Structure 1
């Protein structure tokens, strides 16, 4: 993506890469020193990942856990900072281990500098994972 890409366009592109299960390309959208945070992560899952390498390691097995099919209800809100957006969305698909449905609502606060993600705070509901019956202690539930 060119450096002039808006944060909203970069975010939409990142969702397409997740649907395509192209995790290396998704990780490539990150700044080298980007930070990804999960403020509501339950014990056993990281609350903060620092640097592209750490994010890559965390996301590497994502498609082995969740088979994403769509991100309906996507709403991207601009903020007073042109590099920061607030995103509301749902991720739907299936849990690979159980074949059961995956349906998660998210709010994310995302900052982009020079065409790359530098900060991503992912607010998701860990109770939905517990209610799914999935023992998810591996990579990312997002």
Structure 2
């Protein structure tokens, strides 16, 4: 993506890469020093990933755990900070280990600089995944 990519455009491109299960390309959208945070993470789960390498390691096996099918609702809100957006979205798919349906509502606060994610605060409900005790993703993420 060019360095002048608007935050909303970069975010939508990232969603497409997640649906395509192209995790390496999604990670490439990150700044080398990017920070990925999970403010609602339960005890024992990561709350902050610092740097592209840590983000790549965390996301490496994501499609093996959660098979995303669609983001049927995505609302992107601009903020007074030109490089920051707030996103409300819903993702649907299935948990691979159990073939159970997966549905998650997210709110994300995303900051972009020079066409790369620099900070992403992911306000998702981890209890929706934790409720499925067979999920490998829940054990791997701790």
TM-score when normalising by structure 1 = 0.94
Cα shift at 1:134? 4.0
The 5 Å alignment of 1:11-50 reads 11-50=11-50
Runs of 4+ in 1 over 6 A off after TM superposition: none
Cα RMSD for the two superposed structures: 1.3
Kindly indicate whether the alpha-carbon contact (under 8 Å) linking 2:46 and 2:141 is maintained by their aligned counterparts in 1: no
Distance 1:64 1:20, change over 3 A: same
The 5 Å alignment of 1:88-99 reads 88-99=88-99
Distance 1:26 1:100, change over 3 A: same
| More displaced stretch, 122-131 vs 44-53 | 122-131
Cα shift at 1:130? 2.6
Q: Flag structure 1 segments of 5+ consecutive residues without an equivalent.
A: none
Kindly indicate whether the alpha-carbon contact (under 8 Å) linking 1:106 and 1:122 is maintained by their aligned counterparts in 2: yes
Kindly indicate whether the alpha-carbon contact (under 8 Å) linking 1:107 and 1:124 is maintained by their aligned counterparts in 2: yes
Q: Give me the whole-angstrom Cα distance separating, in 1, the residues matched to 2:141 and 2:12.
A: 22
Q: Flag structure 2 segments of 5+ consecutive residues without an equivalent.
A: none
Q: Give me the whole-angstrom Cα distance separating, in 2, the residues matched to 1:122 and 1:77.
A: 15
> Which position in structure 2 is the counterpart of 1:6?
6
Cα shift at 1:44? 2.7
Kindly indicate whether the alpha-carbon contact (under 8 Å) linking 1:109 and 1:122 is maintained by their aligned counterparts in 2: yes
> Which position in structure 1 is the counterpart of 2:81?
81
Q: For this pair of structures, how many residues does the alignment match?
A: 140
Q: Give me the whole-angstrom Cα distance separating, in 2, the residues matched to 1:106 and 1:20.
A: 19
